[in-house]
A and B are shown apart, each in its own frame.
Chain A
Amino acid sequence: MYYFNNYVYEILKYYRTHIVLEDTISIGFTGVATQRVAPVFSNENSEDALYVAASVDFTAAQAIEARVRIKSVSPQYEWMANDDDIPIDTPVGALAGIIGTAMPVVSLVVPFFVQKQGRLQMQFTNSTTTPITGGLWNWRCIRLTNPINGGWNYSIGFNG
């Protein structure tokens, strides 16, 4: 059973049509332990979207050791916000479901709204003891089409 909080329903109200969208991203690990690869980005969408849940094709052990840091790039909101001297990235397994296990997809605590000109930036660090080669990340999303009055945007959040 799906549950959305009031924030999500407030966004959904601005669109006449809601369609399931999947967004798969290749991470590009080359099998090097603790490798910090170049950031990868969510794919461009022609419509606004809500990013709801994530999964990854790592093993459970790899998902514990591999880390990720995510932020949106338009506008910029840090998900792993901390200002530690040495910021600690989040273990992948705390955010994404692991394909092949009992929980292959895990929902975000709150879906994230990405405007059609916006993207998510994901900075991955490879596992320390069982490094990953390749790696696929899948976002499960809701594509928001047929906007009403231009759709929802973050300025509504500021001024609405």
Chain B
Amino acid sequence: MDTQQLIPQKINTGDWVGSAWNGSPRLTPYAQAIADHYPIQVPLFLTTQVVLSNDPLDLSIPRVILTRPQLYDTLIVGMTAYQAPTIQQAGQAYLNITHQDTGIPWTAPNSIGFSPLPAYAGMVTVGGFGSPQMFIMRLPESFFLPAHTQLKLEYLPIKLDVTPSVTIILVMQGIQLINHRPGFTTPEKVQMPNGEVIPVGSRIPWFATIPYGARPDVAGSRGFLDYALNALEQTVSYGPPSDCVIEVHDTYASFNDSTFENFATFNLLRTKLDFTRKKRDWSPQYIPEQAVFGSIVNIDPCMPFPMPQILSGDDKITMRAMNNDTDLENPVLDGTVTFRGVRQCEY
């Protein structure tokens, strides 16, 4: 029997504080439990910059940035990104972040393996659609970055017009955790609100980016830019498999097509979204894509589900998409949906 369905309070909904920065940043219970071990806490702004050019290598090989090791243990809580030229002018870069020491990527390694920058970070846009937006976005879960370790940032400009170049500045907002007491060691386990004791490092941000449509089966079509969902066609996509329990919080949709990006017509693109845990878990009808997926036009681009969804074992996300546009010349090009949440694993 699925006890999680019968006793919803068993789900750690208290872990979820949403992506909005709001008037006062709020720590997740996991982050608060870690921070409680440190009597001195100092704001951290960790800024990195990358310039993506029209060098062919920049278009096919990820550009890698390594953060420098920090003196103190750190909680990375939220992110802000700046892009010049803007997203409206040049499109969106894709990003993956990996903790260098454990090797665990934040974006699940599926057919894309990268997520749009606005799924990671609040974007400052000036004079464009959706402006002003929430320019600091909270991660689905704070990331505990131990002292003297690094994060690897991999950028892939697969949806970016890099003529002549695009500059991206990424600011990670976090807390430096300081404890100089003799004999102090970094906590290995913390207690969650439901009483469960979990290892520090066992909750990390999780991103899964699923493309709309499929690549055509022709020579040379291995690039991301070949994904398409033609008018009056349907497709089925699945979330990546995982060996861990996943807590799915919210979604962000990205399109390289102004017809769909601007959401001018509400019913143009429809989806059927199922968290398939058992055969009975299915949706009865297609729903407007904008009703369930956030986008860059929203103040908070990541649209939350009514409650976090727990996926474990053989569970999977099933996403059916239908391009309802009657204009056959109007396919969905290079569309992706990013599911954001928390990966619960012990390493």
Contacts A102-B132, A106-B136; A157 near B47 (Cβ below 8 A): no
* Interface assignment of A61: CB less than 8 Å from any CB of chain B: yes
Give the chain B neighbours of A4 by CB distance below 8 A: 24
* Interface assignment of A38: CB less than 8 Å from any CB of chain B: no
Contact indicator per residue, chain B 28-51, by CB within 8 Å of chain A (1) or not (0): 000010011011111111111100
Contact indicator per residue, chain A 76-105, by CB within 8 Å of chain B (1) or not (0): 010111111000111101110000011100
Contacts A93-B124, A94-B80; A107 near B23 (Cβ below 8 A): yes
Q: How far is the CA of A95 from the CA of B82 in the complex (A)?
A: 13
How close is B201's CB to chain A, nearest CB, in angstroms? 20
Q: How far is the CA of A133 from the CA of B325 in the complex (A)?
A: 51
Contacts A60-B124, A109-B175; A5 near B23 (Cβ below 8 A): no
How close is A38's CB to chain B, nearest CB, in angstroms? 21
Are B43 and A112 neighbours in the complex by a CB distance under 8 Å?
A: yes
Contacts A7-B35, A108-B43, A157-B40; A101 near B132 (Cβ below 8 A): yes
How close is A25's CB to chain B, nearest CB, in angstroms? 17
* Interface assignment of B78: CB less than 8 Å from any CB of chain A: yes
Are A6 and B174 neighbours in the complex by a CB distance under 8 Å?
A: no
A: contact size bracket: 35 or more
* Interface assignment of B344: CB less than 8 Å from any CB of chain A: no
Are A2 and B126 neighbours in the complex by a CB distance under 8 Å?
A: no
Nearest neighbor of B86 in chain A, beta-carbon distance:
A64
Q: How far is the CA of A158 from the CA of B41 in the complex (A)?
A: 12
Binding-face segment, B176-184, B214-222, B334-342? B176-184
Contacts A60-B126, A79-B44, A79-B45; A109 near B25 (Cβ below 8 A): yes
Give the chain A neighbours of B49 by CB distance below 8 A: 88
Give the chain B neighbours of A94 by CB distance below 8 A: 45, 47, 80, 82, 135-136, 171, 173
Nearest neighbor of B169 in chain A, beta-carbon distance:
A91
Give the chain A neighbours of B40 by CB distance below 8 A: 154, 157-158
For the complex of A and B, the 7 pairs showing the least CB-CB separation, nearest first, are A157-B40, A157-B39, A94-B171, A94-B80, A3-B24, A90-B45, A88-B47
Q: Which residues of A contact B (CB under 8 A)?
A: 1-7, 10, 60-61, 63-64, 70, 72, 77, 79-84, 88-91, 93-95, 101-103, 106-110, 112, 154, 156-160
